[in-house]
Amino acid sequence: MPFRYGNHSLAQQQLEPLALGRRREGTRDQEKDIRHRGLGADDAIVGLILQTPMKQARSLIGDAGVYFSNAFTVTALCCPSRSSILTGRYPHNHQVHNNSLTGNCSSPAWQKGPESLAFPVYLNKQYYQTFYGGKYLNQYGLKEAGDVGYIPPGWDQWHALVGNSKYYNYSLSVNGQEEKHGDHYDEDYLTDLIANRSLEFLDKRSPQRPFFMMLSPPAPHSPWTAAPQYQGAFSGTKAPRDGSFNKPGKDKHWLLRQALNPMSDTSIAFLDDAFRKRWQTLLSVDDMVEKVVKKLEDLQLLNNTYIFYTSDHGFHSGQFSLPIDKRQLYEFDIRVPLMVRGPGIKPNQTVKAPVLNIDLGPTFLDIAGVNLSTVNMDGQSFLSQMAPSLRNGSARPYFLVEHTGEGHTKPDPACPKLGPGLSHCFPDCVCEDACNNTYACVRTLAAENLQYCEFADSESFVEVYNLTSDPHQLENIVKKVDPALLQTMNLRLIKLQSCEGVTCRDTKH
């Protein structure tokens, strides 16, 4: 079964892992030899379906299986989201709040607690051969986080990037030994290196045991360094101008209202350049997908393997006049692409049921034959959604999205008028996060298509959106909504903020 997990994957998303694995032996009677055709990726977010750089991924995974049109992350930030993928837990349960060590990202407390119960541990107990390649967690490999000698439990082959995303001039922990890389494309370009080592793993694996691979390339995370052959691609491409692009953050949390509107020419030029470079880096990821699928086919494993392609969060480029980043509660930051192909999955499917990144771990374990009642995860398997012939199950009616804001203790020298408590103020002193940008939301796609959010700030600010009539979330309707509905959403939020395990899935009321 291949799986993928990552930082964004498609145009407006940073793609970083591709998880791969093989279904357990003994279940072949349930599996079908399938050639899938279907929708490839959530280009609705970017509005440029025909121009997506991920053409091979769409063809070989999306068009060969199922596309989830309502896939979400439970928090739009790298390390907390990746921690949710690994543990199947909401951030309030795994306690990773941001990308810093003090925010519990790859900290000793994380390693001793939630990481010891991450899904690879259970796969290892099922005798899976496991491979990890690429970015892991932002603080991984630092001295305070156990140094490069630390290997998280459950991984047999470990090729993890030390620190945050890079394409050249980085260090890897290769099975606990430091491996330094320079700036030669053929030897060092990280996306290609991950692809090549995954192929080696497939060649050398034991055919008597199932396997799982997770590939996490840096693309399209900054510094957006494309492979040499792709640096001239998409020369005329700009960020999409539809939806909420360059619109004021009217009636929204103050962080949205502080953004300059209309955006300056320098901000627009900056975000267009970033958008174009991100797409360029994704072309190498598309190559990686093609190589892995071809290798599986050559080894006669493709029809017995699940392949997941997804991302750890979305990414905005000018929406509500915010130049580039994530961390916001809106659709462009919390939606992620998700495509899956594999045994029992019929071709040409689009599933509308909501699926979360905390559901990936339980789904992997379900495929591997683990009894999910013995696993303390907040998410639920979505195997029944994509392969109903193999499992029965129901979709959740609503779910939680949460974020803990960050800010510097001192004012940013580039924009002193804003004072302390803000961060990521670039370009043109437009701040993307703040200490009181701490919120929790209930999102529902059942009877209503609504989002209800509360901020932990001095205003106790509330935002409510009807995404049926207002898909771009232009109007905060908190003052227009029936108070009874607000109370219902508030009670749902209170319940979800304190949920754990099965109570996170008990969402009938």
Q: In angstroms, rounded to a whole number, what is the distance separating the alpha carbons of residues 134 and 6? A: 10
From the list 78, 441, 499, 504, the catalytic residue is 78
CA distances from 355 to 288, 335, 394, 422, 445 (A): 25, 10, 11, 32, 11
Residue 310's identity, in one-letter code, is T
CA distances from 295 to 18, 53, 283, 312 (A): 15, 21, 19, 26
Q: In angstroms, rounded to a whole number, what is the distance separating the alpha carbons of residues 465 and 457? A: 20
CA distances from 506 to 354, 396, 509 (A): 15, 9, 8
- Cβ-contact 410, 392 below 8 angstroms: no
Q: What angle do CA 233, 239, 240 make, to 5 degrees?
A: 125
CA distances from 7 to 42, 215, 236, 372 (A): 15, 11, 25, 26
Name which of 12, 14, 18 is nearest 57 in CA terms: 18
> In this structure, which long-range contacts are made by residues 407-414, counting pairs with CB atoms below 8 Å and at least 24 apart in sequence?
407/433, 407/434, 407/435, 407/436
Strand 462-466 vs strand 450-455: parallel, antiparallel, or unpaired? antiparallel
444 DSSP assignment: E
- Cβ-contact 312, 78 below 8 angstroms: yes
State yes or no: is 429 an active-site residue.
no
CA distances from 240 to 257, 274, 337 (A): 21, 12, 17
Which residues are designated catalytic? 78
